[in-house]
């Protein structure tokens, strides 16, 4: 991927996270405290320094902010929804049936 595309992806990821954080009316410090993710890491994401989030902080931020995982996955450049041919309903149901630990492990395999 050319550097311009990397910058665009990082910018999209950062903007998306910032929008959800601001909609939740949380400061970076408050989000860090609630999620267990370091404020500096959150700041780096929002400033476009980080393109792909590791599974643990991704899930922690998602749980606090309540965004659908597809939102950040799409911002990171992963095909989701129609772009990936849609989500198989049986697969979606199977993933929902997993406990948090199992979902984190699966997300770790995908990222």
pLDDT score recorded for residue 72:
81
pLDDT score recorded for residue 84:
46
Of 100, 81, 76, the residue nearest 92 (C-alpha): 81
Q: How many CB atoms lie within 10 A of CB 29?
A: 11
Average pLDDT, 10 consecutive residues per value, the chain (111 residues):
64 90 95 95 92 81 88 80 55 71 71 52
pLDDT score recorded for residue 11:
86
d(CA 12, CA 74): 9
pTM for this model (two decimals): 0.66
């Amino acid at each position: 991927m050319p550097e311009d595309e990397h910058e665009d992806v990082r910018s999209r990821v950062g903007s998306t996270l910032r929008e959800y954080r601001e909609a939740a009316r949380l400061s970076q410090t408050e989000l860090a405290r609630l999620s267990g993710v370091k404020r500096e890491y959150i700041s780096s994401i929002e400033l476009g320094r980080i393109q792909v989030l590791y599974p643990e902080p991704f899930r922690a931020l998602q749980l606090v902010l309540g965004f659908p995982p597809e939102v950040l996955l799409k911002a990171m450049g992963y095909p989701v929804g129609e772009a990936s041919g849609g989500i198989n309903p049986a697969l979606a149901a199977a993933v929902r049936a997993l406990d948090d630990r199992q979902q984190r492990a699966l997300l770790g395999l995908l990222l």
